[in-house]
Amino acid sequence: MVYPATPAVQVTAADFQLAAVDPAAITPFTTKEAAQPRLQELRERLSELQERLYAEHSRSLLLVFQAMDTGGKDGAIGNLLTGVNPAGIHVASFKAPSAIELNHDFLWRIHPHAPGRGHIGVFNRSHYEDVLITRVHKLISEATCYRRYSDINAFERLLTHSGTRILKFFLHISKEEQAQRLQARLDNPAKNWKFDPNDLKERKLWAAYQQAYEDAMRHCSPPESPWFVVPANEKWARDLAIAEIVVATLEDMNPQPPKVDFDVAAQVVE
């Protein structure tokens, strides 16, 4: 499908280069104030479309969010879902796997969180962690990593065939922006709790993570479950781009409430 004009880049080529996407891009608007009316319009439309999807109760939408540390996943999800009925939303956050989860295949802990009919599911981190951090830290071999790409494609194809549309967002920030956000967490006592000293260790692996993300997106971005690289240095531009893509996808799905099985005109409320 054709998506609206945003700074987000859909991954479609096997030779995709993450470095070619400017994390500071903000088109088509140049200021937060100028973009605000459009963002509000999108929020209202998303609320309407989500209600129709919930009423239709035959299909679902899955939104996957990935980013480097401080990339803004929580903020992006919160902004996207502003004004949306929480009854039709399921958000799952995936941390390091537990001992029980490690005793199963890497997708075992993911599948139960796939959205049910009529729902929008949101993954804050996802099954892609198992071809990202595991690869960067050499917890799996290259051969295992490539097998997992195939497993991921098969898993997402299964969801698609079952009526779930999938959109995957990589929130793309620059290394300089990450440094500023980490420092801000240290400078603000109210935000100290968000700082993890391990983030500094992971930051030293920036190049390896960029390569791991790039390879995952190259191998796991079929047309039915595409990756979008969303420039995320400017939070308002990030939020607008995501909302544009999600609303356009729901418009394309065009969910319809079920027809009632009674004569509406004959009903009298006294």
- Give pLDDT, residue 260: 87
* Amino acid, res. 57: H
Query: CA 18 to CA 161: how far, in whole Å?
Result: 29
Query: How far apart (Å, rounded) are the C-alpha atoms in residues 168 and 221?
Result: 9
Q: Which domain holds residue 173?
A: 9-255
C-alpha distances in angstroms, 117 versus 39, 61, 209? 27, 9, 34
Residue partners of 21: CB distance under 8 A and separation at least 6:
9, 172, 229, 231
Let me know if residue 192 belongs to a domain: yes
Is 1 contained in some domain? Answer: no
CATH number at residue 192: 3.40.50.300
- The count of structural domains within the chain is 1
Residue at 176 is within a domain: yes
* Residue 265 counted as domain residue: no
Let me know if residue 203 belongs to a domain. yes
pLDDT tens for the chain, 270 residues long, are 768 889 999 999 889 999 999 999 998 999 999 999 999 999 999 999 999 999 999 999 999 999 999 999 999 999 999 989 999 999 999 999 999 999 999 999 999 999 999 999 999 999 999 999 999 999 999 999 999 999 999 999 999 999 999 999 999 999 999 999 999 999 999 999 999 999 999 999 999 999 999 999 999 999 999 999 999 999 999 999 999 999 999 999 999 999 888 988 899 998
pTM: 0.96
Residue 217 lies in a domain: yes
Q: Is residue 167 part of a domain?
A: yes
pLDDT tens digit string along 232-249? 999 999 999 999 999 999
> Coil, strand or helix: which one is 168?
strand
Q: What angle do CA 14, 155, 113 make, to 5 degrees?
A: 125
d(CA 265, CA 14): 57
Whether 263 is covered by a domain: the verdict is no
pLDDT confidence of residue 201: 95
- pLDDT for 7 equals 92
Residue 1's pLDDT is: 74
- Model pLDDT, residue 27: 84
Q: Any idea how long the chain is?
A: 270
